[in-house]
Structure 1
């Protein structure tokens, strides 16, 4: 890993979903450059292992006051939702993070802000809103609203 990557606050990992039997022998692991990723999780490794290695340190630092983002990216059916949400038997990154946060702040007064968004086909959606009320979020290119000469926000 390069010196620049060691100093970065960004960590990159790749999780490889189980291969379809007719699609190869697992050689995909050998083609992932160690210069591009901090860690490759094979299909045999659990979401809990991924969470403990990659996400948990970020969750701990957010409770200490640092901003943190966990960003799942990949093509359709690559396992993003399973990794992030999991199932009843196998909790994903989000349920594991929520459990850790609430265990950490138990018996303390704490302000916690969380966003859970999906970006799909250039549309940003807030996934914490009930699905029947969900609508695309407006993307703004300016920090402050534009005000009319009378001082009213437009």
Structure 2
């Protein structure tokens, strides 16, 4: 499976896209920095504003099949931005569940959020690294049997 991710906060403002992972198969790894812009003041106005990551399987004939998606509320990632206050620093690593359109879990998405100073000075943009890891079904089946 050749997958890529589309990342956005507001789809009508900007959608960032990762490169297609050619070698990861069912366990893609993008390991790249993605910058996403959104309207100034959005996190303060809308507590449900979220970073959205949509994962697609890329095909040679132009058909893109949705693999799954994940959401992270901005209020869970963006903090005060004061480097002197450790509690105001952003989360360094965040793992979120990837869900299929049917509502079933598909795997895990690991996000690495940069330290204070990269994006917390100006809160209308967000940068992070994307990496997706998929849990194998056989492992889950083994655990259920035990």
Whose helix proportion is higher, 1 or 2? 1
Q: Is the TM-score greater than 0.5?
A: no
Instruction: Provide TM-score, normalisation by structure 2.
Output: 0.26
Instruction: State the structure with bigger RCO (CA 8 A, min sep 6), 1 or 2.
Output: 2
More strand by share: 2
Structure number with bigger Rg = 1
TM-score (norm 1): 0.26
